[in-house]
Structure 1
Amino acid sequence: MISVDAYREQVAELLGTAPATTVPLADAAGLILAEDVRAGVSLPPFDNSAMDGYAIRAADVAGAGRDTPVALPVADDIPAGRIDVAPLAAGTAHRIMTGAPLPPGADAVVMVEDTDRGTETVRIFAPAAANAHIRRLGEDVAEGTVALRAGTVLGHSQLGLAAAVGLAELRVHRPLRVLVASTGSELVDAPEPLRHGQIYESNSVMLAAAIRGLGCAVEVIRSVVDDVDEFRAVIEPKLADADLLVTSGGVSAGAYEVVKDALTGQGVEFAKIAMQPGGPQGSGRWNGVPVVTLPGNPVSVLVSFEAFLRPALLTALGHTDVDRRRVRARLTESMTSPRGRRQYRRGVYTPVLGEVTGIVGPRGGPGSHLLAAFTQANCLIVLPEDVDAATEGEEVDVLLL
C-alpha cells in the first residue's frame, strides 16, 4: 500500500500549476494572482485632506478656542479633483474638501465642524496640530513597492487596490477545466424511478459542487455504464477540452471495474492507499490529460477529495495555503481504527471556552456508504496509521471542514 502523504504528493505533482493568463479586473474576482503586483503610483498619490474643512498653518491657529476664535481670510477653494492648487500664504486659509490636494505651505487641516463655515473669512474655534487630518503621499503604498503578492486570492478589496495603483488587468492562474464522470450500471439519474438493485447517482453532484467551489470550471458526465467501450466512447472525445479528468467508481478489485479496465495500460496506475475509507485509487495521464480516479462509495469520494484532490487543485490554481485548519480535540467517546491505515471519521467539533483544545465526537460509523452522517459533520477526525484505538478523553487531530 502507498501512504496517504506519498499519494497526496503524487496527485499534486500530476496536476502541477495552472498556466497564467491576463484578464481584466472585472473578470479576476476569485482567481489567484500569478505574479507580484507593484504599485505604479503611490497611495495616496499626493498629500490630501482627510476632512472637509480648511487648510491652514498650525502656528496661525495655535491660540484658537471656543471663546477665543481665530479669524482668517479664505484665499481659495479647493474641491476634490482640482489640479492647479495655489500655495497657502501665512495668515490665510483655503477651504478644502475631503481628498483634495493640500496646498503648498499648509501643514494642517481644521475640520469644518470646528469653524463657522465662512467662505470669505472663517472663524476657527479649535487649534490644529501639525499634520492634523492630512493623508500623506505614499503612506498606504509607496510607488514601486509590492502591493499584492503572487498567490493572493483576488477578492473585492484586492481588486480595488489593483485599480487604485493604476492597473486595468492582472496576471492570474487560469481556472482549471475539470471533467467529472461517475460510473456504475446501478446508477440512475433522479427523478427517474428506481428499480430494485438501482441507486440514485450522487457522486458527480458532490464532486462537481466541491470542485466548482474551488474556482474550477466543471463539466459532468453522469452514470456511465460498466462497459469499457462505452466508457471510452463517452469520455475520450471530451479530454481535449479538459485539464483534469476525475472519475468515481470502477477502481476496486471486483469483476466489473470499468475505470480500471479501461485505463490500465493507458497511462493510469491503480493502487491501494493506506487509508480508510478510500483505499482504492488511481492516477496518471490518459491521452496526456491528468486523471484522478476515486472509489465509488460516497463517503470515500468526499474523503478522497479532502485528502488528495482539494489540496492538489488549490496548489494548481496558485493558492499558497491549501490545507484545512488542523486542531487538537478531546474525544467524547472511544474509537477504533484498522492498524496500518489512516482513518478519517466524520465528527462534530466544539471549541471549549478558555481552553486550547475543544471536544469532538464521531458522527455515524466508519462505513463509506453513510452519507447522511457527513452532512451533520463539521470536521474529520484523523487517527494515524499506528493507532488502532483511541479512548474517551484522549486528544486527537481534527481537520475542520
Structure 2
Amino acid sequence: MSTPVPKAPMLSVREALDFLLEAARPVEQVETIPTLEANGRVLAADQLATIDVPSADNTQMDGYAVRAEDCASGSATLKVSQRIPAGSVGQQLEPGTAARIFTGALIPPAADAVVMQEQAEAVGDSVTIHHAPRAGEWIRRKGEDISAGAVILPAGSRLRSQELGLAASVGLASLPVRRRLRVAVFFTGDELTMPGDVPPEGLKPGAIYNSNRFTLRGLLENFGCEISDFGIVPDSLEATRATLREAARENDLIITSGGVSVGEEDHIKPAVEAEGRLSMWQIAVKPGKPLAFGEVRRDGGSAFFLGLPGNPVSSFVTFLLFVRPFLLRLQGVTGQVEPQGYTVRADFELPKGDRRNEFLRARLNAAGGLDLFPNQSSGVLTSTVWGDGLVDNPAGNRIAAGDLVRFIPFAELQY
C-alpha cells in the first residue's frame, strides 16, 4: 500500500503577494504626453520645480496691506494710497498708508502684514484698522509651497488630479510616463453565455451569463489598461493554447477567469504549461483559494499569466487582493501598492472563524460601525454591490459585536 503524499501547506495572503511583487517587471517604454492627458498614468522620471511657488510674497486674504508698526495701537486710521488686484504690481508703501489688496495679489514693498477687510472700516480715501497685526500676518511667502529645484513628483508616482495640478503650478505642460499596460483577458467554460445573446427564458439548464467579463474589464479600465478581450474560449486544450499564443503576442499580462482547477474539463493548467510555465497556488484566503501564476512564451520574451477562480465573488476579491498590486508594479508604481486598511467597530457577530484568511463583504452604517452582508458565499455577487468594502479577518478569528476589525474600503481597492 503506497504512502499518501501530504498536501503542501497553503500560502498565506502575504506570501502569495510577496511572490507576485518580487516577480513583477515594470514596462520599460516611456512616452511624453500633455499634462492634461496624464491622469492615471505612472511618472517615468522625477519632476523638478523650475520656479518658486508662490513666485513672490502675496496675500492670502482680501483686505489691506499695511506696515505692522503703523497699526500697533489697534485702532489706526491710514490713508489708502493704492489698489492692488491680483496680477498687478503695487508701489512702495509709505509710512502711514495702506494698500487695498485682493487675494493672490503681490505684497507691495515695505508692507509687512495684511489686515483682512472684516477688521477694517473704510471711509472715503481712508481706512481705520481695528486690529494690531503681527509682521507676516496673512502673507504667503515666496517659495512657501514649492522651492525652485525641488523634486515635486518622484518617478513611480501614479498621477491623480492633484498631481496634475501640482505639475501645472510650476509650468510643466507635458510629462514623461510609462506606456499603458497591455492586458489580455479571456474566459473559459462552455456554460458561459453573453447577455444579449440568449434571453433569460432561453438559457439552457446549467448555463450562466458571463458576469466576470464585465467585472474584470471594468476593473482593468479603472487602472487605465489597454485591454484585448478574447471573450469566451471553448473548453478544449487546443482552443485554450491557441488563445494563449495570440494573447501573449502583443500583451504584457494575460488574465483568465475559470478553469484553474484540475478537473478534466479545466484546460488552463496544461495549456499554460505547454506554452510557458505555471505555478498552481492554493492560498489560505476566502473567497478565492486557487490562483494560477506563470508566463506564456512569445518571440523575444514572455507575457505574465494570472488565472483567477471562476466564482464571481472569488474572481472579484482575488483581483483586488493580488492582481491590483501586481498591475501597479507592472505599470511602474514604486510606492505602496497595497491598500490602506482602517480600524472600524464591528456591529455584527461572526461566531466561528474560518481556517483561511476571510475577506468579508461589509458596509459602514450611520453609527460609524460595520454591518455584514448575511450571505458570504463566493457566488453571491450582490454582496459586492451592497458592501462598501472588505473586512480582513485573520484565520480562526471570531468576531463579537463591538470588536475592532480591519476594514478595507472598495475605494482603496478599485483604483
Q: TM-score, normalised by structure 1?
A: 0.81
SS at match of 1:141: coil
Shift of 1:198: 2.0
Counterparts of 1:243 and 1:110, CA distance in 2: 59
Q: Does 1:3 align with 2:50?
A: no
Aligned to 1:190: 195
Alignment of 1:309 with 2:320, yes or no, is: no
Partner of 2:255: 246
Q: CA deviation at 1:162?
A: 1.7
2:23 maps to 1:14: yes
Distance in 2 of aligned mates of 1:384 and 1:93: 65
Is the 8 Å Cα contact of residues 363 and 386 (structure 2) preserved in structure 1? no
Structure 2 partner of 1:55? 65
Cα distance per residue 1:204-228 (max 9 Å; x no partner): 1111112222333333222111123
**What residue is the counterpart of 1:102 in the other structure?**
107
Aligned ranges for residues 247-396 of structure 1 at < 5 Å? Answer: 247-275=256-284, 276-286=286-296, 287=298, 288-317=302-331, 318=333, 319-325=335-341, 327=343, 332-335=349-352, 337=354, 339=355, 342-344=356-358, 346-348=360-362, 361=372, 363-366=374-377, 368-382=378-392, 384=394, 387=396, 390=398
User: What amino acid sits opposite 1:14 in the alignment?
Assistant: A
Question: What's the CA shift for 1:384?
Answer: 4.6
Partner of 2:79: 72
Question: Identity across aligned pairs (percent)?
Answer: 34
Matched, 1:161 2:170: no
1:140 is displaced (CA, Å) by: 2.3
3-state SS of the aligned residue for 2:291? strand
Residues 299-318 of structure 1 show CA distances to partners (whole Å, capped at 9, x for unaligned) of 32123213311222233341
Query: For 1:108 and 1:365, how far apart are their aligned partners in 2?
Result: 61
| 2:30 pairs with 1:46 | no
1:228 to 210, 228, 237: 237
The 8 Å contact of residues 278 and 294 in structure 2, kept in 1 or not, is answered as yes
Shift of 1:169: 2.3
Distance, in Å, in 1 between the alignment partners of 2:394 and 2:71 is 71
- Kept in 1, the 8 Å contact 2:73–2:132? The answer is no
Q: CA deviation at 1:112?
A: 5.2
Among 201, 204, 208, which residue is 2:213 paired with? 204
The change in CA–CA distance for 1:58 and 1:381 in structure 2 (over 3 A counts) is closer
TM-score in terms of structure 2 length: 0.79
Query: In the alignment, which residue of structure 2 is the partner of 1:81?
Result: 87
Which amino acid in the other structure matches residue 344 of structure 1?
E
Give yes or no for contact 1:54–1:109 (8 Å, CA) kept in 2. Answer: yes
Three-state SS of the structure 2 residue aligned to 1:159 is: helix
1:124 aligns with 2:143: no
Match of 1:180 in 2: 185
Give unpaired runs (5+ residues) of structure 1.
none
Change in CA separation of 1:324 and 1:191 when aligned onto 2, cut-off 3 Å: farther
C-alpha contact 2:251 2:303 (8 A) present in aligned 1: yes
- CA RMSD, Structure 1 to Structure 2 (Å): 3.3
Q: Aligned residues, how many?
A: 385
Q: Which one-letter code corresponds to 2:374 in the other structure?
A: R
Aligned AA for 2:88? R
**Structure 2 unaligned residues grouped into runs of 5+:** 1-7, 411-415
State the distance in 1 between where 2:287 and 2:106 align: 64
Cα distance change on mapping 1:71 and 1:171 into 2, 3 Å? same
1:46 CA drift (Å) = 0.6
Give the Cα separation in 2 of the matches to 1:53 and 1:29: 37
What's the counterpart of residue 223 of structure 2?
A: 214
Distance 1:238 1:345 in 2: 31
Separation in 2, partners of 1:170, 1:32:
10
> Contact (CA 8 Å) 1:64, 1:125: kept in 2 or not?
yes
Report the equivalent of 1:144. 149
Q: 1-side partners of 2:360 and 2:263: how far apart?
A: 27
1:298 Cα deviation (Å)?
Answer: 1.8
